[in-house]
Amino acid sequence: EPEVTQTPSHQVTQMGQEVILRCVPISNHLYFYWYRQILGQKVEFLVSFYNNEISEKSEIFDDQFSVERPDGSNFTLKIRSTKLEDSAMYFCASSGGTAYEKLFFGSGTQLSVL
């Protein structure tokens, strides 16, 4: 079965630093997502991306966050100036259609902000 690939699997950064999390969605998918899970808490929606623009975002996704699809294969999440509370597991996902359809998730990037 096709997979969503995320790199790196672990990222450690200093507070205030910029970090870029990378994802390679499934090649023929049209919708792309970022979710995160803070340790011991629920998986939370951050943003969805379709047709080269953000289609929906949550309150968490403030001006410190941005997403980009720089080429035909990668989908990135940038945190401009990381905060301690950004420490979480970040999941990328993609789907061929809307969220009614099956979402394929990557195995996540564990971000630790020190």
Residues that bind other proteins (CB under 8 A): 4, 6, 31, 33, 35, 41-45, 48, 50, 55-56, 58, 91, 93, 98-100, 102-108
Q: Which is nearer to other proteins, 8 or 16 (CB)?
A: 8
How far CA 15 is from CA of 41, 80, 88, 102, 114, in Å, comes to: 21, 10, 14, 35, 6
Least distance (Å) between residue 33 CB and other proteins: 7
Which of 14, 102 has the CB closer to other proteins? 102
Closest separation in Å from C-beta 89 to other proteins: 10
Tally of CB atoms within 10 A around 38: 13
